[in-house]
Structure 1
Amino acid sequence: MKAYGFTEYGNSDTQDFLDLDTPSPMPGELLIEVKASGVNPVDWKIRSGHLREFQERDMPAVLGSEVSGVVRKVGQDVDGFTEGDEVFGTVAPNSGSFAEYTLTPATATSHKPAHVSFTDASTLGVAGATAYDGVTQLGLQKGQTLLINGISGGVGVAAAQIARDLGINVVGTASPDKQELIESLGAILVPYGDGVADRIRQIMPDGVDAIFDLAGGDGLRAVVELLTDRTKLITAADPGTAEELGGHQIERDRTSRVLDAVASLVADGKLDPHVEDIIALDDAPDALAAVEKGHAKGKVVIQVG
């Protein structure tokens, strides 16, 4: 099968197209013919070696973490799936979705609703589910305020809509060129950079009730003063800095229960993944570069089948 991945940990120079054997599902797994794959920051972070301590990969390794497609083989000890099912989810350990075929754990795979496109479904396994986990974990009440730090990527765009649907007020930091997108989500954009906390206080004099961080580092340090209760600080980007500031890493569910929930939101018109660009597998380097450089507004999807 054709795939796109990397041959050693490092920068984008280690990426290349690969010609690999089609994998076979182990017990509890599904072989998926890939239709589309969402692109996420975690993909380049895995390639760079930033997550090597948690996700050691065999080389060569295929990139891509979330997928939609069609079941082509069902592994042993799997119930609820048959060949030909249209599904979406996250890839199995040491697998990747920038490929013609990939493996998914059955427990992290769900049936795709008929009126949800493969393109939209491919963004839900990582980005949509992370957003859902984060917003629900914070447990905010209607009328409270959530600051999404780094709102313009796939997770932030989904989180803003999920929070809005719960009656939560949303403020987000991003670059000024993302204003039209952010306002379309019903959120308030505050440009990041020097003085960002002061700009937010002009809108929210009493600060915010929670922070969902998707930026980390100095970007998180710049806004944390707006939050009194540091237990309401979660991050999907920088656990070390969040813990240093009194917050914690997001707790991921990673089950089909959450996948079903976010797919229902899409099907009901309450969640638009805002796919900005659909790029062919042949142009996978461009897709990953757009996300790694932070140029994407919403989601970038690689179309395979």
Structure 2
Amino acid sequence: MKAVALTTFGGPEVLTLSDVAAPQAGPGQVRVRVRVAGVQHFDARIRRGWTPPYLGAVEPPVVPGNEFAGVVDQVGEGVTGLEAGAEVLGFTTLGCYAEYVVAPAAQVVRKPAGMPWQIAGGFSGNGQGAHMALRELGVGPGDTVLIHAAAGALGTFSVQLAKAWGATTVIGTASEENHAYLRSIGAVPVTYGDGLVERVRALAPQGVDAAMDNAGPDALRASVELVKDRNRIRTMVSDEAAQELGVPPLTPARSATRLQELADLYAQGQIELHIRAAHPLERAADAHRALETGHGRGKIVLTVAD
């Protein structure tokens, strides 16, 4: 099959299309013919040589990508509730930048009717990341929540989930060109950069109850100034700064139950996802270059099959 496989770590240019052996579904697994794979900062960090602490050593060759949508074409022994031909979305840790991916059936849910493939392929990773963080923060009715980098895919999910769970005010940082977009999804926009703490205090004189950092160490430090309880701060990108500042780490806990809840919210019209760009699989390097600019709104995906 065709896949984007890393033979060495480095910049986006190391993402090259290769011929690799197609995986086969084992017991408890399904194989999915991938239609669309999402692109995440997690993938870019893997590409640069980072290894998540729960994964162990990652050595080339490796196929990146940890979210996908497509059609089941093999069903392993012991799998029930899914059949060949089922349209699904799901997650793995690696392997999604490919024509086929194998995943445990417990990491796959059916694609909601009417959900476009591009949205389905970019739904699981950032959606679950936002869900995990906001649940750990205890976001709920009456809260004022600060979301950094709110116009990106992770921020988009975070804003909408906070609103769906009853937050009174959601403040989102973004460049001015993305302020109208943030208003359209229910956030109060604020420009990031020097003076951010003062601007947020002006918007929320009653204080900020919880904050989620998707931007970097400066945003995390601003959150510590604004939120009294550091247990109600999480970061997706600033692990070293979090340790330094006494901010608890996020506990990874992706699950089909979590993904199904998000899919149901989408079907109910409470979550929408803007697709920023869709690149063909062979242009994965361009997708990573766009991702790493740190600007733009919504989600970048790879189209693998029609």
Normalization by structure 1: what TM-score? 0.93
Give the drift of 1:53: 4.6
Partner of 2:210 in structure 1? Answer: 210
Partner of 2:89 in structure 1? Answer: 88
Structure 2 alignment gaps of length 5 or more: none
Give the drift of 1:279: 1.9
**Cα distance in 2 for residues equivalent to 1:178 and 1:28:** 43
Give the drift of 1:28: 2.5
- Contact kept in structure 2, 1:233 and 1:246, CA below 8 Å: no
Partner of 2:67 in structure 1? Answer: 66
Partner of 1:227 in structure 2? Answer: 227
Question: What are the within-5 Å matches in structure 2 for residues 1-305 of structure 1?
Answer: 1-51=1-51, 53-55=53-55, 56-91=57-92, 93=93, 95-168=94-167, 169-305=169-305
**Cα distance in 1 for residues equivalent to 2:13 and 2:110:** 36
- Contact kept in structure 2, 1:5 and 1:15, CA below 8 Å: yes
Name the SS of the counterpart of 1:104 in structure 2: strand
Cα 1:286/1:13, change in 2 over 3 Å: closer
- AA matched with 1:258: R
- Contact kept in structure 1, 2:160 and 2:185, CA below 8 Å: yes
Q: Deviations over 1:40-94 (max 9, x none)?
A: 1111011111225543334221121100001111223323222111111112x5x
Cα 1:269/1:52, change in 2 over 3 Å: closer
Normalization by structure 2: what TM-score? 0.93
Q: What's the Cα RMSD here?
A: 1.7
**Cα distance in 2 for residues equivalent to 1:85 and 1:33:** 10
Structure 1 alignment gaps of length 5 or more: none
Give the drift of 1:202: 1.2
- Contact kept in structure 2, 1:238 and 1:249, CA below 8 Å: no
Q: Deviations over 1:110-168 (max 9, x none)?
A: 11122222221112221111112222222233221010122121111011011112231
- Contact kept in structure 2, 1:121 and 1:263, CA below 8 Å: no
**Cα distance in 2 for residues equivalent to 1:126 and 1:221:** 25
**Cα distance in 2 for residues equivalent to 1:175 and 1:61:** 35
Name the SS of the counterpart of 1:223 in structure 2: helix
Name the SS of the counterpart of 1:248 in structure 2: coil
- Contact kept in structure 1, 2:12 and 2:286, CA below 8 Å: no
Name the SS of the counterpart of 1:17 in structure 2: strand
- Contact kept in structure 2, 1:239 and 1:248, CA below 8 Å: no
- Contact kept in structure 2, 1:145 and 1:209, CA below 8 Å: yes
The percent identity for this pair of structures is 36
With 147-156 and 22-31 compared, the bigger mean Cα shift is at: 22-31
- AA matched with 1:75: G
- AA matched with 1:291: L
**Cα distance in 2 for residues equivalent to 1:28 and 1:249:** 31
